Amino acid sequence: MPTPRETILAALHQRLSALPATALRGEVLPERVPAAGLLILRDGEPGEPEVTLSPLAYHYQHRAEIEAVVQGANRDAAFDTLCASVGATIAADRTLGGRCDWIEAEAPRPVDLPVEGAASLKAAVIPVVLHYSTADPLG
């Protein structure tokens, strides 16, 4: 049986997979970026939980990351569209179907990355904070 952390990350990946961009989880950047863009979900860090003792519960503010990448001549508009679609997907269900208490994205910091012999990439990391509780930090 998967842990609450894995259940939440899998649900987030499933939601990202419904977007037109290709969504991967924990993969390396491929050689070619699809025309609709690329999203790579990184599991991130759960951080130090707050603990309540009665009943025992660990309350996390887990920081995952979504790498958003586009390539091509119209990359500024494509990047804006991709980031907006990620935001809309998250805002549409802030509990991921009741799997977590709350999910929120932070603003991306875009950068242009030159590629030798090809159109440059526009990329950013979108931090995502997942709020959830569990009875066991390992389970």
Return the CATH number of the domain spanning residue range 4-134.
Answer: 3.30.2000.10
Q: Which residues contact 63 (CB under 8 A, 6 or more apart)?
A: 44, 45, 46, 47, 127, 128, 129, 130
Structure tokens at 116: 């030798």
Tens digits of residue pLDDT in 16-56 = 999 999 999 999 988 889 999 999 999 999 999 999 998 99
What is the value of pTM for the model shown? Answer: 0.93
At a CB cut-off of 8 Å and minimum separation 6, what does 32 contact?
A: none
Phi/psi of residue 126, nearest 5 degrees: -105, 105
